[in-house]
Structure 1
Amino acid sequence: MPRALKLFLHRLQLLALQITISVMSGRKPVLLAGPGSAMRLCGTVVELGARRVLIVTDAVLVKIGLIAPLAQALEAAGAVCAVYDGVEPDPTHAQIEAGIALAREHRADAVLAVGGGSPMDAAKVIAACVGNNCRVADVVGNFKVKKAPLPVYAVPTTAGTGSEVTAVAVVTDTAARAKTPVVDGKLVPVMAALDASLMTGLPRAVTAATGMDALTHAVESYISGFANAETRPLSVAAVRLIFANLGKVCADGSDLEARQAMALASTYAGFAFTRASVGYVHAIAHNLGGLYHTPHGLANAIVLPHVLDFSRDAAARQLAELTVEIGAATSAEPVAVRAQRFIDRLRALARETGIPETLDTLRAADIPVIARRAMDEAQGFYPVPRFMVQSECEALLAKLLP
């Protein structure tokens, strides 16, 4: 298909999507913040009527003792709990179906998600499928959740995905070796607790990758064609907080103030991209994750500067504005100079926090497949500042080869 026709169809599909997003549920979660907020949330869950709560998490958090106090707090408030800890990174249809079965067996009337993006995504889909008496495959795609899910409450233990406030979940189709999205306003959690005391034990590599994930959300939402007066201040706030604090938490994971700032940045960025969407970084990262199980934050971190190189001229004004916001330039400097400086500062932050420049699992033979899938995902769905075709995506991916 000629590039001009692809671009025309892309813009037409985006127009329809923008109209849909504008009428999508605008619900925002109630936020509790600060050390101890996770325990406060547990009491509130019961106050709001939950009596049979399914906790969705992963085995590591159970093993290190993070889940037991939350379950005890729920039970002390009057709820009966069951724990599903079968979620692994990039949760599969099978893992989520197992969680659905346990939720039904437990007769759950609420779901508490505790963990990083994978447990939160799994919890959203479990709640949607139980509420709609359906399977995972029935809700994959855009706006396919017909009835209200079980209420979801979120306690993120990483600062990056923003899933605690978004209308998106991502599940892995193992047969296709691809990530598949579930997008619906009904997925947005009821309440979230941003409790940095649960994040101080995160390894440096996880802290860096998840922090760069949040930065990707903030930057892509800011340069998006759907960015608006509501989303831009949130994107800017997230970018400022991340540049000011990610290096600190990577150097000292026990810095509670910096951890709390990163948790807030992740949530701001989550709010922003729910309305403004993301772009080619996510399209490529999703498909690296689907093929190689590359952690999503790490894939975003590696891909982001290359996509910004590609989009620099088309997004120069926005990137120049962000450079001023992080204190790396004045508004008197030329736009092009400021835009390039933002990309340079981003690369410097990635180096400081230990993000690699290449992807050691990437194989040259896989590049055409990854590029095709990424372009298929982005077509008509991501309001990017500069349109990309497969050959350009392949050239970008080649720069990531080890």
Structure 2
Amino acid sequence: MTAVVVGVDLGTGGARAVALARSGSVKLWMYEPFTGAGSWPPGRADPAAWLDGLGRLLARVDEAGLPVAAVGVGGQSPTTVPLTDDQSRDPVGWAATCRHPAGIGLDRTGQHLAQLEFLSHEAGRPLAGAQIWDWALRCLGASDIQGLWPDEETVPGYGERVEVGTIIGHCDGSLGLRAGTPLVSASNDAYMSFWAGGLGTPGRGHDPGGRTGGLGVAVEAVQRPAEIPGYFSPVAGVEVVGGPTNGHGQLLEWWSGVSGRSIEELLTLAEGVDPGAGGLVVLPYHDGERAPRWESRLRGEMHGLTFDTGVAEIARAMLEAAGYGLRHVHDELRSAGVEMDVMCCGGSPALSRLWCSIKASVLEVAVDMPERPEQLSAHGCALAAGAALEWWEGVGAASMDSWPLAAMTRIEPEPDEAYRASYERFVALGDAAVARLDQPV
């Protein structure tokens, strides 16, 4: 039986995994929901459910008869697991996830430390903290480490720094995984998605999707505009610029809950609405906005409601709003000289060809739609595990040639004046919303 590396992405509501052979062939796609996740308080999670989901994934690999050569784990970030000390495996109550208000608006390190301060106050004593994937690997037998993407800032007190693709221990037999199996550090889901999506060619962009979105564009490091911060791409000499947005998959989740229609039904209804959503423009700032406005006080708005506006038009406007948010980031980059000629869409939103095509047409660039977009981060974690075994090169390689990247289908843009006009309104309405924030009531 062919040996595989297993990449695991511990997400918001469940764990996803990919079993990848050295040849690049995917032997198994897996998903296990976290028990009880639907009833968790906002911004909180039960670490025991995370571990249970991971165990069920590993059991499925074993049931398939696939020998596991290594396991790499990554996940959502910033998320803090509260622990009694830096050697402990046992959480002290609930974890704080990236949706928790502690530290919102701060950088990743600041948010982690704010989460830990909140959790320590809740427990009534000082606690140690760990990233979700570091803690999960520790529960399998790894040491106290902090798995990071190259050049990511080390969070004080969260373990010894190691970079993606490092063997940080061997399994002790926990969760049914064979004792002695190499355990490999991955990193946060966005970086892992970037890797599997091939974000190493200048001019290529990536939207990691998920409940929140964003846009990263690859540029030659020597050509990155000095005023724009960048971070490492998987390829040496190439950096990524851009930023995260708040309103994405969670927009449709919210409208599904309010309207009482399933997401699948909303997507079908939206497909029957013409570009421009009947003049309706949504500002997807329900939870504030990150790039490019960086204003947490903003709130969602709808403009252009009429008596003819229905569930379908609002659903269509939600899809378009996510595209306008990406274009807003893109236009800021373009004004600094950063161009994008193709964008990969990841996460569950990219399961919708309609949504991918709207993004392509709004941005007026081609879009690559992965075969399994919701599994991109897990695929990246598998790449990290394989790199640790020297099956292929690791992060910092001279090119992407050795990596078995995700399979893609290309969608060409269909520009439309309705999108262009609505985008201009989107920006103008957002500017007005920001201006109102500091006006006297």
One fold, TM greater than 0.5?
Answer: no
**Greater helix share, structure number:** 1
- The alignment's TM-score, normalised by the length of structure 2, stands at 0.27
- The alignment's TM-score, normalised by the length of structure 1, stands at 0.29
